[in-house]
């Protein structure tokens, strides 16, 4: 099983993994599979909107990093027991409007979410790639 080779509660570059394989591994493990293709996004608001739409966040999502964290943690935790997560953020922008600092801030939210779920003994793996 693919997920056994990946440390739980981690945020890492997708590298040699294929999205289809990650999706299948999540299904086999009974984990949630959250996927966002962000190839059309060029700025932080567009990235947050793309994630919100792809992950089916509620309409009241605040489109900021704090709201993203809340949706990835508290909101989901309050909805009941969770089996685990495999998250894929594909084609994050790499430009002046979404520079390295903005990307690291976004990925820090997912690192914090991984820590949150780790504290609850729930596996949370996030994979990302850049445009």
Give the model's pLDDT for residue 34.
96
Question: Given the structure tokens 């997920």, which residue do they identify?
Answer: 3
Report the CATH superfamily, name and number, of domain 2-130: Barstar-like (3.30.370.10)
Q: How far apart are CA 7 and CA 85, in angstroms?
A: 13
Q: What is the pTM of this model?
A: 0.94
> Would you list the domain boundaries of the chain?
2-130
What pLDDT digit, counting tens, does each position of 44-100 carry? 999 999 999 999 998 888 889 999 999 999 878 778 889 999 999 999 999 999 999
């Amino acid at each position: 099983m693919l997920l056994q080779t990946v440390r739980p509660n981690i945020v890492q570059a997708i590298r040699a993994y294929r999205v289809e394989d990650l999706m299948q591994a999540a299904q086999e493990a009974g984990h949630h599979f959250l996927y966002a293709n962000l190839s059309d996004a060029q700025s932080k608001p567009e990235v947050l909107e793309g994630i919100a739409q792809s992950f089916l966040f509620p309409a009241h999502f605040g489109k900021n990093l704090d709201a993203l964290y809340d949706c990835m943690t508290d909101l989901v935790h309050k909805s009941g027991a969770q089996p685990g997560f495999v998250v894929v953020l594909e084609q994050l922008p790499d430009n002046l409007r979404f520079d390295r600092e903005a990307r690291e801030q976004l990925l820090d939210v997912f690192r914090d979410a991984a820590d949150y779920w780790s504290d609850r003994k729930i596996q949370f793996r996030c994979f990302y790639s850049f445009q």
